[in-house]
Amino acid sequence: MQKNILNKILTISIGLVWLANGLLCKVLNLVPRHEQIVGRILGGTFAKPLTIGIGILEIVMAVWIFIGYKSKTNAMLQILIIGVMNILEFALVPDLLLWGKLNLVFAFLLIGVIFYNEFYLNKKTTNTLW
């Protein structure tokens, strides 16, 4: 029973991370550093629409997490996206990251939480959050 409650808490928390980063940081541009990162990596010409597009995809990821459909596939995709994104940022724009190169540590902690939550705590027969 406690594993199930912790799984739900972590699932909601992970979904809120994606939602906050997508909606607040990128779509609403409350953290302009995100657009600067996109601009430096992908080019400044289309940085704003690309950042908004990435933000929308992050919101979609949050909805997918909350729905719980194919949660193992979702978790693997999250791990891949977070890993690739943070390695690229570590290599290409460490000066724009909130904690500099230390961001990579936090990214891998999040990857660990996602993995633990989905592949250890999520032992239910259905893959829906509710």
pLDDT for the residue numbered 128: 54
What average pLDDT is seen over the chain?
94
Q: 74 pLDDT band (50/70/90 cuts)?
A: very high
- Tokens 């940085």 map to which residue? 47
pLDDT at 111 over 80: yes
Confidence band of 123 (pLDDT split at 50, 70, 90): confident
Burial 89-110 (b: 16+ CB within 10 A, else e): bbeebeebbeeeeebbeebeeb
Beta strands in the chain (DSSP E): none
Phi, psi of 75 (to 5 degrees): -60, -45
pLDDT at 124: 63
What is the reported pTM? 0.90
Vertex 125 angle, CA 124 and 126, to 5°: 95
Mean pLDDT of all residues in 14-26 = 98
33 band by pLDDT with thresholds 50, 70 and 90: very high
SS3 130: coil
- Model pLDDT, residue 2: 86
